[in-house]
Chain A
Amino acid sequence: MAESAQERAGRAPRPVLGLLATVAVVAALVLGLVVAPAEAIQGQAQRLMYVHVPAAWTAFCAFAVVLGCSVAVLMGRSRRWDAHAQAAAELGVGMTALAIVEGSIWGHSVWGVWWTWDARLVTTAVLLLLYLGYLGVRGLPGDSRRVSRRAAVVGVVSFVQVPVVHFSVLWWRTLHQPPTLVSPSSSPPIAPMMLAALLVSVLAFMLAGAWFVRRRVAQLVDDSPAEEMAAVPGRASSPLIVTRGSS
């Protein structure tokens, strides 16, 4: 579809989102580093949770966005959906890598190991690999429409594989702590102030992630040749008809 520069400028990221994200990040830092108490057994190292958990959640949300946008691309939607898929995948890969590295540091300080063959860890590493593959396909040379369709296929295939991968590793071995929040007991086993810090951190990560995606989409759409968004110039004329035997 044709899109004027004005329309594109109209969709440029609004500062509101950036401001909200900044406020949330500052609040999360204060809550996580100052207000929330240190954990009784794990000590200060537990504060890594305020990065680890939100990073992982943001990554999962980003990959869900990749799936939705990929389906839209396969159904013939525009370049904007494709740009959202790419931006979300980049965010997701970054957040997954952060969650893994940071979780590894946390694990080392608490359990003395960098890595454990736990289902969630392995699944997260597989997620990282799948979406690195997705970004690899995005980076292929060639016509942008074809590349985005191919990437969309990988985006869909990758996402639907994740639950199967997770269950296969889960059955294979479970060593990790049970999930902190999503547990069968009605009251979460976490101090109220810690919970508040965690939730604000999650909010901060989500807002900052959304802000990143908007910025990146604006950049990607600007990068792509303006003509690509425009319709093929029309040459209205009556159709050419090849008919039999009139020669």
Chain B
Amino acid sequence: MVAISYDATLVLDLAAAGARFGSRTVLHPVSLRVQRATTCLVHGANGSGKTTLLRLCAGLLSPTGGERWASGPSLYLRPGSGARRRQTVEEALETARTLSGHGRARLGPALEAAMLSPLRKRRVETLSSGQRSRLVIGIALVAAPALVCLDEPSAHLDDEGLSIVRAGVRQLAAVGTAVLIATHDRDLLADRPDARLLVSDGAVTDIGCSGVR
């Protein structure tokens, strides 16, 4: 079962990586390998360590022990993050696109997919919570890095917003991006996720979905 050709398909390899703040262990060492174009839901109670796991995966947090390897840039996004309040929606996406080194052609489709085209000239601070959650999907799509970690992407979202998240995740997987999603919503994705992880008291376990061994 472990006989996978890692070299080409692996985007993230955590080897016994843990996290600790001061004397408190927030995440016990976990070994996690994520292949490209996969989707994985991360469940767990509040304060269990989901966010820490995602930030560790995204490389924002250096592991207290163990190692992290990633094949390329990783992005951690939560609703409302990733843009300056006084930027316009278009400027925010443009920043993410340029920093990721993608061509201009990316911008239009990402705006469309996140249904942000009518809002492109609006300042981020004037967006509603749900619209800001869509902005996060737009940023992920326009940057399309190796790994995207979405923290509670469905917060503040209505049904339409939820379908945008679902479509966005599908599109990310289609371009080869691996997506980790921390959520309480077990049915967040329309398609079955490739894996489900449970974080409980800082310990990460698989919860039996196929694809997780």
CB within 8 Å for A232 and B22 given contacts A239-B31, A240-B206, A244-B38: no
**Residue from A225, A227, A234 in contact with B16 in the complex, judged by beta carbons closer than 8 Å:** A234
Q: Which residues of B contact A143 (CB under 8 A)?
A: 21-22
**Chain B CB within 10 A, most for which of A144, A145, A242:** A242
Q: Does B112 lie at the interface of the complex (its beta carbon under 8 Å from any beta carbon of A)?
A: no
Q: A237 at the A/B interface (Cβ < 8 Å)?
A: yes
Among listed B96-104, B136-144, B193-201, interface-contacting one: B193-201
- Is A247 a contact of B29 with CB atoms below 8 Å? no
Question: Known contacts being A242-B212, A246-B211, A247-B192, is A233 close to B40, with CB within 8 Å?
Answer: no
Within 8 A of B (CB), among A191-246: 225, 227-228, 231-235, 237-246
B186-209 vs A, Cβ < 8 Å mask (1 yes, 0 no): 000000111101000001101001
Known: A242-B32, A244-B38. A225 touches B25 (CB 8 A): no
- Chain B 20-40, CB-CB to A under 8 Å as 1, else 0, gives 111101001111111111101
Chain A residues lying within 8 Å of B193, measured Cβ to Cβ, are: 247
Interface residue B4 (Cβ < 8 Å from any Cβ of A): yes
Inter-chain contacts of A238 with B (CB < 8 A): 2, 31, 213
Say whether B28 contacts A235, CB under 8 Å: yes
CB <8 Å contact, A243 and B203: no
Q: How far is the CB of A70 from chain B (nearest CB, A)?
A: 18
24 A–B pairs (Cβ distance < 8 Å), ordered by A: A225-B22, A227-B23, A232-B18, A232-B20, A232-B28, A233-B28, A235-B29, A235-B30, A238-B2, A239-B14, A239-B15, A240-B32, A240-B204, A240-B213, A241-B32, A241-B34, A241-B213, A242-B32, A242-B35, A244-B9, A244-B36, A244-B38, A246-B210, A247-B209
The 5 closest A-B pairs by CB, nearest first: A225-B23, A239-B31, A232-B18, A242-B195, A232-B65
By a beta-carbon cutoff of 8 Å, the part of chain A in contact with chain B is 143-145, 225, 227-228, 231-235, 237-247
